Amino acid sequence: MMPTWFLPPDFTFTPAKLPLGLVISHPKNPSDIIAFPSSLSAALPAESSLIEPNHSHSVELSTSVGLSLLARLLDLVSGSANVTKSRRDVVEYGQVDHHVRTFETPLSDAAIRAIVALPKVRDYIRGSLFGRRPVYIVCGLRVATTSFRVETVRESTFAADVGAEVPIPAGTVPVEVGGRLSGCKERVRMHSYETAPGIVFAYQLCAIKFKGNGREGSQGRLFESRDAFMTGDGGGTVDELELVDVTEEVLDEDYDLPVECKVESVGDGNSCVLFIERA
CA-to-CA separations, 62 to 8, 69, 91, 157, 263, in angstroms, rounded: 20, 24, 12, 11, 13
Q: What is the pLDDT of residue 236?
A: 46
Q: Which pLDDT value is given to residue 262? A: 77
Spatial contact of 135 and 125, defined as CB atoms under 8 Å apart: yes
- Cβ count near 237 (within 10 Å): 12
- Residues listed for the chain: 279
- Amino acid letter, residue 264: E
Helix axes 119-126, 109-117, angle to 10 degrees: 80
Can you give the pLDDT of all 279 residues of the chain as single tens digits? Answer: 568 999 999 999 999 999 999 999 999 999 999 999 999 999 999 999 999 999 888 877 666 555 554 444 444 455 566 667 777 778 899 999 999 999 999 999 999 999 999 999 999 998 877 778 899 999 999 999 999 999 988 877 777 666 655 555 555 555 555 556 666 777 778 889 999 999 999 999 999 987 755 544 444 555 555 454 544 444 444 467 889 999 888 888 887 777 777 787 776 778 888 887 755
- pLDDT for 70 equals 47
- Domain ranges in the chain are 4-45+54-95+107-195+238-275
Amino acid letter for position 83: V
